[in-house]
């Protein structure tokens, strides 16, 4: 009988569990062990999506899906053509976890509870015979000295060691594990935060917490970035600290590295009315001068602006409270149009986005064979999830990368 293969998966998160289950279900003759430093596994899945777990996103083709990965888009094309969002939905449905699509495309378990996903992964792993060693911190790993020999995995200050045939790194964004990988010869792209909100102190948005505009465009100024990395549009939300919402989060992900280099001090311009330039807005304001000439500018918000935000922009354009639409001249019109369509703010720092934050950086992608998520430097060393230099905008895409990587690495581990 063939020798029973021993597989050690470092990290009991989304990627580690998906790989372990796939491997154990595919190769019944493999001994699959998840080694997790924490007391509990699947901690991030549990707290994800505000406790609801945004499992994936309703974009069904690899070509469209990869557009949401500022790092990893090119490398994920192939993997997504083998295991895409539809496969994730089916995978969970087959295990009795139905998912639903929200208006913005994010997908959650129908239960609206991340516990359904945690339970499903836990039960599937147990059913497949996966062994789970918790409170077991991997300190170091050593490659085989000769072909055919096992790896050595040192656990808890060397108290314990495992000798697997194959290893998978699913340790997320743990700097210590990146150091271990550096010693094995892998290059690590230095980690920087991604998915954060912009801190702005400015009288125009002070104390307007909770006010939003449905479709604004945000542009980063003065940083050398490709054009498509400089702007994003979507709902814009004023928070206690500054600005948030999909447009800001998207920019924080796309420009994660450049903004880190700037120490999060930079300028943005906001077009609160996406799709209409300063000139077009000036023309629209001129028309209002005849259409509603007798009405007061300040107390008659236009273009869907909430009253309080409109007041601030009118004040910033130096338009007196008693001024009527028919009474504003070219200069004031120009100033108001600029506040609406090219409203500049100084960003000074960042804040953590409460629902989801990730790290940009990790194992250099050109060192990975993405057919199998295997190292090109060492045989029998596999990776998936946040340990790699892959990350996405918010919306369920980070988990999708972990499921896909975990699944394909799991198949390769099972060989």
Residues that bind ligand FAD in the complex, under the rule CB under 6 A: 10-16, 35-38, 43-44, 47-49, 53-54, 137-138, 170-172, 174, 176-177, 355-358, 385-386, 396-399, 402
Name the minimum Å distance from CB 388 to ligand FAD.
8
Give 115: exposed, middle or buried? Use CB within 10 Å, 0-12, 13-18, 19+.
middle
What are the E-state strand segments in 67-187?
99-101, 106-109, 131-133, 138-142, 152-155, 160-162, 166-169
Residue with Cβ nearer ligand FAD (86 or 275):
86
Q: How far is the CB of 242 from ligand FAD (least distance, A)?
A: 20
Are residues 39 and 135 in contact, defined by beta-carbon separation less than 8 angstroms? Answer: yes
Determine how β-strand 99-101 pairs with β-strand 131-133.
unpaired
Based on CB atoms, which residue is closest to ligand FAD, 273 or 395?
A: 395
Closest CB to ligand FAD among residues 244, 271: 244
What is the nearest approach in angstroms of ligand FAD to the Cβ of residue 194?
10
C-alpha 124/C-alpha 25 separation (Å) is 9
**Distance between CA atoms of residues 337 and 364, nearest Å:** 45
CA dist 111 and 134 (Å) reads: 27
310 or 399, CB closer to ligand FAD? 399
The nearest distance, CB 283 to ligand FAD, in angstroms, is 42
Residue 285 beta carbon to ligand FAD: minimum distance, rounded to whole angstroms: 41
Residue of 44, 35, 40, 43 whose CA lies nearest to 136: 35
Q: How far is the CB of 46 from ligand FAD (least distance, A)?
A: 9
Nearest distance in Å: CB 247, ligand FAD:
19
Alpha-carbon distance of 41 to 48, in angstroms, equals: 13
Chain position carrying tokens 């994010």: 106
If the CB atoms of residues 44 and 378 are measured against ligand FAD, the closer one turns out to be 44
Q: Decide: 221 and 367 in contact? Cβ < 8 Å.
A: no
Q: Please state, in angstroms and rounded to a whole number, the distance separating the CA atoms of residues 230 and 233.
A: 11
Distances (CA, A) of 177 to 41, 129, 160, 180: 17, 26, 17, 5
**CB-nearer residue toward ligand FAD: 5 or 404:** 404
Residue at token pair 């250099």? 364
The alpha carbon of 371 is separated from its chain's Cα centroid by a whole number of angstroms, namely 23
Distances (CA, A) of 355 to 118, 232, 245: 17, 20, 11
Distance of closest approach, residue 150 Cβ to ligand FAD, in angstroms: 18
- Cβ atoms of 26 and 414 closer than 8 Å: yes
141 forms beta bridges with 153
CB of 197 to ligand FAD, least distance (A): 14
Token pair listed for 334: 């120009």
CB of 179 to ligand FAD, least distance (A): 10
Nearer to ligand FAD, 14 or 363 (CB): 14
Backbone angles phi, psi at 49, to 5 degrees: 55, 40
* Residue with Cβ nearer ligand FAD (4 or 176): 176
Listed residue (117, 120, 102) closest to 52, CA to CA? 117
Question: Quick one: 194 or 271, whose CB is closer to ligand FAD?
Answer: 194
Cβ nearer to ligand FAD, comparing 38 with 144 = 38
């Amino acid at each position: 009988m063939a020798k029973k293969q021993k597989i050690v998966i470092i990290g009991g998160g989304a990627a580690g569990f998906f790989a372990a289950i796939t491997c154990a279900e595919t190769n019944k003759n493999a001994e699959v062990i998840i080694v997790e430093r924490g007391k509990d596994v699947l901690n991030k899945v549990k707290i994800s999506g505000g406790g609801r777990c945004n499992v994936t996103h309703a974009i069904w083709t690899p070509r469209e899906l990869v557009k949401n990965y500022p790092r990893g888009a090119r490398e994920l094309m192939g993997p997504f053509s083998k295991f895409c969002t539809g496969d994730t939905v089916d995978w969970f449905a087959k295990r009795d976890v139905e998912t639903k699509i929200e208006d913005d495309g994010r997908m959650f378990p129908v239960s609206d509870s991340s516990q359904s996903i945690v339970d499903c992964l836990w039960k599937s792993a147990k059913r497949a015979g996966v062994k789970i060693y918790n409170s077991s911190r991997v300190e170091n790993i050593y490659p085989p000295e000769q072909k055919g020999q096992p790896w050595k995995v040192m656990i808890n200050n060397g108290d314990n060691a495992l000798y697997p045939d194959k290893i998978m790194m699913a340790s997320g964004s743990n700097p210590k594990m990146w150091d271990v990988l550096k010693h094995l010869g892998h290059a690590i792209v230095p980690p920087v935060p991604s998915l954060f909100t912009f801190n702005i102190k400015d009288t125009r948005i002070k104390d307007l917490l909770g006010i939003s505009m449905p479709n604004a465009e945000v542009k980063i100024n003065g940083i050398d970035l490709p054009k498509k990395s400089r702007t994003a549009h979507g709902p814009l939300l004023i928070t206690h600290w500054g600005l948030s919402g999909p447009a800001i989060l998207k920019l924080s992900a796309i420009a994660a590295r450049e903004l880190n280099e700037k120490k999060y001090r930079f300028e943005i311009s906001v077009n609160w009315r996406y799709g209409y330039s300063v000139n077009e807005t000036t023309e629209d304001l001129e028309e209002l001068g005849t259409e509603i000439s007798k009405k007061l500018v300040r107390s008659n918000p236009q273009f869907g602006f909430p009253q309080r935000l409109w007041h601030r922009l009118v004040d910033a354009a130096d338009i007196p409270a008693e001024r009527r639409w028919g009474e504003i001249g070219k200069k004031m019109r120009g100033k108001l149009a600029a506040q609406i369509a090219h409203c500049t703010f100084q960003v000074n720092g960042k804040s953590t986005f409460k629902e989801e934050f990730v790290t940009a950086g990790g194992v250099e992608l050109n060192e990975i064979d993405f057919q199998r998520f295997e190292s090109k430097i060492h045989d029998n060393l596999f990776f998936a999830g946040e340990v790699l230099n892959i990350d996405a905008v918010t919306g369920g895409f980070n988990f999708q990368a972990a499921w896909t990587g975990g699944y394909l690495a799991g198949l390769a581990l099972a060989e």
